[in-house]
Structure 1
Amino acid sequence: MVAQPEVSAWRSRVPGVVEVFHAHFTEYAYPMHVHEAWTLLIVDDGAVRYDLDRHEHGTPHDTVSLLPPHVPHNGSPVTTHGFRKRVVYLDGTHLGEDLIGSAVDGPDLRDPVLRLRVGQLHTALGHPGDELEAESRLTLIAERLRTHLRPSAPAATPRDSPTLARTPRDSPTLARTLRELLDEHLTQGIGLDEAARLVHAHPAHLVRAFSGAYGIAPHQYLMSRRVERARRLLLEGRPPGEVASATGFYDQSHLTRHFKKFVGVTPGRYARSRQA
């Protein structure tokens, strides 16, 4: 019996992300079609054969494929087992039309670091409330993609700014300013784009400056501060659902996942421990 397709698709609140699409197909083959958005594709199981601009390509599991907008392509499984893929569709926020030609010439990128980061991006996109992490990871992914597609030309992109060329002396000041912003917006949160606009820095440079100064990514810092505040409220006897809302988590399950990551136990068990 032929396995039924498995499909999951959703919109994300992360700027630049048009759609997130996960699928498992065994026999289905895509006809020639185009997308208005960039297609950032990884295959977790099996492989896909596709034609792009009348040239045949393939996507083994260690490859990241970037298909440009407006260029026709198709897709079909290589084996009878089909393929399992994860796709992020991106608008022109991170990648400009000037990169389309390079992407047509070389859409499949063998880069283990890039492959790992794209997988981490999908994990973050699958958890509501982790938008800052997803935004940070996407910023670094886009920077690496531009390096692949334009290795010798540091020309401006839609998100580039002169502040990208800041000297290392600027990094501690940027890191401290971002930390202050994260502290000020601990509950409501702040997007990476908004923070970069407020401090007049490129988002990728801002993430690198913060991580270099404090040894922790901005999203990790924000979540650790929220968990710290949640601990205090739990010890005051407030229920986990109320604590989740009061500390900026999307919901109680979001609090539980991060609380267990940082503390080692669930919020409920932590709260019960105070009675002992």
Structure 2
Amino acid sequence: MAAGGASGEEITAWRPRVEGVTEVFHAHFTRHAYPMHVHDTWTLLIVDEGAVQYDLERHAHGTPLGTVSLLPPHVPHNGSAATPHGFRKRVLYLDAADGGPLDASFIGPAVDTPDLEDPLLRRRIGQLHAALARPGDELEAAARLTFVTERLRERLRPRLAEPPRRAPDRRLAASLRELLDARLVPGVELAEAAALLHAHPAHLVRSFSAAYGIAPHQYLTARRVDRARRLLLDGVPPSEVAPATGFHDQPHLTRHFKRLVGTPPSRYAHSAPRR
């Protein structure tokens, strides 16, 4: 959902079908200032233009370009532009309930250090936003969310003795490939796959990528496109091919088909020589 005003202020907000993300919020504000308020979610914020200044737990903070800000649930904060031209931001509201991306033990560290200068984390968050904006790419978004939260944990609690990362598991990778093949059209959520295969989502994605040189969502998309090619050459209309191969809709099919094949589905379907 997008909305704008005469002042040039704009917002876009939606609720993605990705477990752990309760809302995506993009905004361009020139004059709006947030009063003190709280959320029942984690607020993960990046600023693309300008800067935001805010108070958290009676301490002043800011978001210069390149900073990642993580505001914990139930902790009052405000917010306003730190420059005359306002700011443009992208926000993810992450579930704070038990089983969410971050548990309550991270609230204290986030209060102490809400602003993180971390280019890798910021790049991962940008990639996550891009995936969340594309309906049908929920498996990719879930994988990217896993790596974002993993990086947040590393930054917020670096002194804790974390268990070493496990080496990639080829058996686990093969099991995931079998699952993806079996669920080619309906698909499978990353959390469901991890539960079925008794693996942590990040370890599952890393094992698959190391074994096959391709991420799980890329593998699934490529298999779907292959099936779409066969149906198109059999004369099935492109409008019917998308749902038959697991794509969200025809634009979703077209985007990935053109990227992998080099031409749109409709043109591909009519490329066969006449007999």
User: TM above 0.5, one fold?
Assistant: yes
Residue pairs, 1:52-131, within 5 angstroms: 52-92=56-96, 93-131=100-138
1:122-143 alpha-carbon deviations (Å, 9 max, x no partner)? 1111111111000000011100
Offset of residue 3 of structure 1: 2.8
Q: Per-residue deviation at 1:98? A: 0.4
TM-score normalised to structure 1 length: 0.93
Summarize deviations over 1:69-99 as a string: whole Å, max 9, x none.
0111111111121111111100131101100
Please report how far the alpha carbon of residue 261 of structure 1 lies from its aligned counterpart in structure 2 after TM superposition.
1.4
What is the one-letter code of the residue matched to 1:113? L
1:2–1:26 Cα contact (<8 Å) kept: no
Q: d(CA) in 2 for partners of 1:99 and 1:248?
A: 38
Q: Does 1:41 align with 2:45?
A: yes
How many Å apart are 1:167 and its aligned residue? 4.3
2:198 equivalent in structure 1: 200
Give the residue type in structure 1 aligned to 2:184.
L
Which of residues 3, 23, 29 is equivalent to 2:7? 3
Q: Aligned pair in 2 of structure 1 residues 104, 4: CA closer, same or farther (>3 Å)?
A: same
Q: Partner letter of residue 71 of structure 1?
A: V
- Offset of 1:147 from its aligned partner? 0.3
TM-score for both structures, normalised by structure 2: 0.93
Q: Supply the distance in 2 between the matched residues of 1:79 and 1:2 (Cα, whole angstroms).
A: 20
- Per the alignment, residue 211 of structure 1 pairs with 209
Q: Is the 8 A contact 2:25 2:90 kept in 1?
A: yes
Per the TM alignment, residue 16 of structure 1 is displaced from its structure 2 partner at its CA by 0.8
CA distance in 1, matches of 2:254, 2:49: 30
SS of the equivalent of 2:270 reads: helix
User: Conserved in 2, the CA contact under 8 Å of 1:186 and 1:225?
Assistant: yes
In the alignment, structure 1 segments of 5+ residues that lack a partner are 156-163
1:24·1:84 contact (CA, 8 Å) conserved in 2? yes
Quote the residue 2:225 is aligned against.
227
Q: Distance in 2 between matches of 1:154 and 1:259?
A: 45
Q: Measure the CA separation in 2 of the matches of 1:248 and 1:61.
A: 39
* 1:64 Cα offset (Å): 1.1
> In the alignment, is residue 22 of structure 1 matched against residue 22 of structure 2?
no
Percent sequence identity over aligned pairs: 66
1:144-182 CA deviation, whole Å, 9 max, x = no partner? 100001112146xxxxxxxx86742x6101111111111
| Deviation beyond 3 Å, 4+ runs, structure 1 | 164-167
The number of aligned residues is: 267
Moved more, 171-180 or 258-267: 258-267
Q: Tell me, yes or no, if the aligned pair for 2:33 and 2:81 is still in contact at 8 Å.
A: yes
Deviations 1:216-249 (A, max 9, x none): 1111111111111111111111111100010000
Contact 1:20/1:87 (8 A) holds in 2 = yes
Question: Cα offset for 1:12?
Answer: 1.3
Aligned counterpart, 1:159: none
**Alignment partners' CA distance in 2, 1:235 and 1:120:** 34
SS of 1:188's equivalent in the other structure is coil
Partner of 2:247: 249
Is the contact between residue 41 and residue 86 of structure 1 (CA under 8 Å) also seen in structure 2?
yes
Structure 1 stretch displaced more, 234-243 or 184-193:
234-243
